[in-house]
Amino acid sequence: MLAVNASDVDDGRNAALSYRLEALDGPPSSSDVVSIDRRSGVVTALAAFDFESRQTYSSRDHVTHRKQLTHERL
């Protein structure tokens, strides 16, 4: 479906990033229809989108550095 991408200037283990999505909408929320791979940032569909019943889903992407520094984007 899509991929979230971030980078870090550190090398090796210190460059490790972790991804997660936070649903910002009500039931069924975006977390019911999409999932993100914590290591790669690849977002995949968990179910078919029914645009006749719902046109948009909202989530916030979080990227966390090994040292627990976090960046968020809507």
Phi-psi region at 52: left, alpha or beta (left = phi > 0; alpha = psi -120 to 50) = alpha
Between residues 55 and 74, which one has the greater pLDDT? 55
Between residues 67 and 52, which one has the greater pLDDT? 52
With cut-offs at 50, 70 and 90, classify the pLDDT of residue 63.
Answer: confident
Is residue 67's pLDDT more than 70?
Answer: no
pLDDT tens figures, 11-56: 777 778 889 888 887 776 777 788 999 999 999 988 888 888 888 8
